[in-house]
């Protein structure tokens, strides 16, 4: 847990520092360079700064062990953060889209080349940050770090779109093509769409976890295969699993021969739990209920 928390803080701090630099660069250059797309990208980066700060505050909470008040642990703190970031990105998308659309109803000036270079620098930086953050998130099953990675992912395409939009506007001025002058405005609307798409994905996943949706069917089938390796398990009556932030909780009902002793049933349940947790290190708890199994036709499921 300590290593996981240290890595998460490191990723969050790197994100905070890099996003502060990019935010200042894109907002200032976007404003003075007359680029709505680069300015919008800067607003998005400002949201990233806020998101990273929230993650830093909640990481310690999510890594706390289970206690009397929170017997299932504190993992959902990261999910709540992911949802907050998703809502924030949704608001940013609406703002950027509004500014972009309204720009089509006014005369426009072409942005400067400097705005395009700022967008390209942001693009390269975000590719590096996204790949490194996503790798750490997967290695540590961290929804909070994953949320940061998705923020970087949105910036990757947004930055290159902003750069292209600026370039199209500049070409429009050079060749006196009025329609192309609005390339920067169109790019800002496209940036808004990308931000909205990421926000939607984050909010959907967060809601699914908070509503305790069953995990992916393929993963559930893998759990079933592990349980069926035990010959004393006559039937799996029910299996459920839900994400609780960066870990998974499994509920299992199995039937064993009715003449088995309590000790035998206990040992079997312990073995099943241990095997599942050994094979899947993100499983933190397996609750197993044993039902009596009768071999005749009157056997009922529990």
CATH number of the domain to which 244 belongs: 3.30.70.1350
- Residue 204 and residue 232 in one domain: no
What is the residue-averaged pLDDT of the chain?
Answer: 83
Same domain, 84 and 102: yes
Domain finish residue from 210, 239, 259: 210
Does residue 228 fall inside a structural domain?
A: yes
Q: Are residues 206 and 222 in the same domain?
A: no
Contact 145, 12 (CB under 8 A): yes
Residues 57-107 pLDDT 10s: 766 666 666 667 766 665 666 677 778 888 888 888 898 888 889 888 877
Q: 3-state class of 253 per DSSP?
A: strand
Give CA 68 to chain center in angstroms. 29
In a domain, residue 263? The reply is yes
pLDDT at 239 over 70: yes
Average pLDDT in the 112-120 region? 89
DSSP assignment letter at 111: P
Same domain, yes or no: 81 and 41? yes
pLDDT at 228: 94
Q: Do 177 and 246 fall into the same domain?
A: no
pLDDT for 182 beyond 70: yes
Q: Does 300 map to a domain?
A: no
Query: Do 97 and 22 belong to one domain?
Result: yes
Q: Model confidence at 301, in pLDDT bands (50, 70, 90)?
A: low
CA distance 97 to 191: 8
52 and 151 in a single domain? The answer is: yes
> What pLDDT is attached to residue 1?
53
Same domain assignment for residues 205 and 262: no
Domain end call among 210, 232, 253: 210
Burial class (CB in 10 A: 0-12, 13-18, 19+), 211: exposed
pLDDT of residue 157: 81
pLDDT at position 252 is 95
What are the CA-CA distances from residue 90 to residues 35, 93, 95, 152 (Å)?
A: 21, 5, 9, 15
Assigned domain for 298 exists: no
Residue-level pLDDT at 28: 93
- State yes or no: pLDDT of 224 exceeds 70: yes
* Count of structural domains within the chain: 2
Query: Is 192 a member of any domain?
Result: yes
Q: Assess whether 225 and 269 both reside in one domain.
A: yes
Q: Are residues 21 and 136 in the same domain?
A: yes
Residue 251 lies inside a defined structural domain of this protein: yes
Whether 301 is in a domain gets the answer no
Tally the residues of the chain.
Answer: 302
Last residue of a domain, one of 210, 240, 265: 210
Q: Clarify whether residues 13 and 151 are in a common domain.
A: yes
The pLDDT of residue 138 is above 90: no
In a domain, 299, yes or no: no
**83 and 46, same structural domain?**
yes
Q: 234 CB contacts (<8 Å, ≥6 apart)?
A: 254, 255, 256, 257, 293
1-15, 161-175, 234-248, 259-273 — which is least confidently predicted? 1-15
Question: Which residue range is the domain that position 81 belongs to?
Answer: 2-210
Instruction: Return the top range by mean pLDDT from 10-19, 25-34, 104-113.
Output: 25-34
Q: What is the mean pLDDT of residues 22-46?
A: 86
Where residue 131 sits, what CATH number does that domain have? 1.20.1510.10
Percentage of the chain lying above the pLDDT 90 cut: 25
Question: Mean of the pLDDT values across residues 233-256?
Answer: 88
């Amino acid at each position: 847990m300590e290593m996981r928390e240290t890595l998460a803080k490191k990723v969050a701090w790197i994100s905070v520092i890099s996003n502060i630099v990019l935010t200042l660069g894109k907002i200032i250059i976007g404003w003075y360079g007359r680029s709505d797309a680069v300015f919008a990208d800067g607003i998005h980066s400002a949201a990233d700064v806020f998101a990273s700060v929230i993650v830093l505050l909640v990481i310690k909470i999510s890594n706390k062990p289970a206690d009397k008040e929170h017997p299932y642990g504190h993992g959902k703190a990261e999910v709540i953060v992911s949802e907050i970031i998703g809502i924030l990105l949704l608001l940013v998308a609406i703002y950027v889209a509004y500014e972009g659309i309204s720009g089509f109803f006014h005369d426009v000036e072409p942005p400067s080349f400097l705005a395009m270079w700022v967008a390209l620098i942001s693009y390269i930086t975000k590719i590096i940050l996204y790949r490194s953050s996503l790798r750490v998130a997967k290695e540590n099953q961290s929804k909070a770090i994953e949320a940061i990675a998705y923020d970087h992912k949105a910036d990757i395409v947004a930055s290159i779109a902003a750069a292209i939009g600026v370039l199209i506007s500049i070409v429009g001025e050079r060749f006196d093509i009025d329609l192309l002058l609005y390339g920067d405005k169109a790019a800002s609307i496209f940036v808004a769409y990308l931000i909205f798409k990421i926000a939607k994905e984050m909010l959907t996943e967060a809601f699914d976890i908070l509503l305790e949706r069953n995990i992916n069917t393929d993963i559930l089938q893998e759990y079933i295969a592990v349980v069926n390796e035990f010959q004393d398990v006559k039937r799996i009556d029910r299996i459920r699993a839900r994400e609780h932030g960066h870990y998974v909780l499994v509920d299992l009902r199995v039937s064993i021969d009715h003449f088995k002793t309590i000790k035998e049933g206990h040992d079997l349940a312990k073995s099943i739990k241990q095997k599942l947790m050994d094979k899947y290190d993100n499983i933190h708890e397996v609750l197993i209920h044993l039902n009596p199994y009768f071999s005749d036709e009157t056997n009922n499921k529990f």
